[in-house]
Amino acid sequence: MLEMKSLEELNKVRSEIISLSVRREYREHLENTRLVSERPLTAEKLDKITAADAVEADRLRKEVIAQEDRLSREFRTLAEAVKSEFANAFLDLGVPRRQIFKANGEMYAKYLNVYQDLIGVYPHRRSHIKLVSFIYRNETYRSAGSCWVEHLASAQGELARLRSSDERHIRLMNKAREVLGTDSNDPAIIKLAEDFLKAKALEEVEDTTIDVTHADGDDCEWDVGDRRCRCGHNRYYAETEGSLLGGYYVYGQWH
């Protein structure tokens, strides 16, 4: 029977890799803070995750990786020692070296398979970062980043943007209803209200004189509707700027 001290040490390292206490602490932290969840988070649950939670997750992950890397190196060093002891056992029994090793130094399959069965498969436990996902208005959104701090910031930033967009839409709809005198819930009324206010702004400056600036920077005046400004230097047309919420104004644009 083969007695290999290195194999005993290797199995101890294998057990340590599998039962790494800091990994359990890391996993529990992710579950408790909801950074990792089986289902996408609700917006309310995402709000409750703090930057400090993400910072602690990154700290624990780095500690896990450092320990995993150390144990991985130990495992591979011991695996080579087991290989040497395994081969020496057969050499001591009188098996010629050429029957164990090929010319390139690799073991023949019948010995290599036994050796690999002895050391087993390396227990990979790399602690990858998962996406932070959440649901908003029945749509699922996912984070991006290279660490937990970045993933959390990405998810919460996207949620803030979505909320802001919703709030703006509500304001636009309310303003459109006010302008058009309607109770419609059709988003198309926003464009109708914008077009109405633009036309109204243009109507208000018809047959009036407004200040304009030439292409060369000189100031002048333009009688709205005429083809050229009063000095005749540039041709102009009426252009509108503004927004539904802030109102529209008209200016003369040279061309």
Q: What pLDDT does residue 1 have?
A: 44
Q: How far apart are CA 177 and CA 182, in angstroms?
A: 5
Q: What pLDDT does residue 74 have?
A: 93
Q: What pLDDT does residue 3 have?
A: 58
Please report, in tens digits, the pLDDT of each residue of the chain (255 residues total).
455 788 889 989 989 888 889 989 999 999 999 999 889 999 999 999 999 999 999 999 999 999 999 999 999 999 999 998 889 888 988 999 999 999 998 899 999 998 888 888 887 766 777 889 999 999 999 999 999 999 999 999 999 999 999 999 999 999 999 999 999 999 999 999 999 999 999 999 999 999 999 988 899 999 999 999 999 989 999 999 999 999 999 999 998
Determine the longest span between alpha carbons in the chain, in angstroms. 113
Q: How far apart are CA 243 and CA 198, in angstroms?
A: 9
Q: What pLDDT does residue 118 have?
A: 86
pTM of the model: 0.70
Q: How far apart are CA 141 and CA 155, in angstroms?
A: 8
Q: How far apart are CA 93 and CA 32, in angstroms?
A: 57
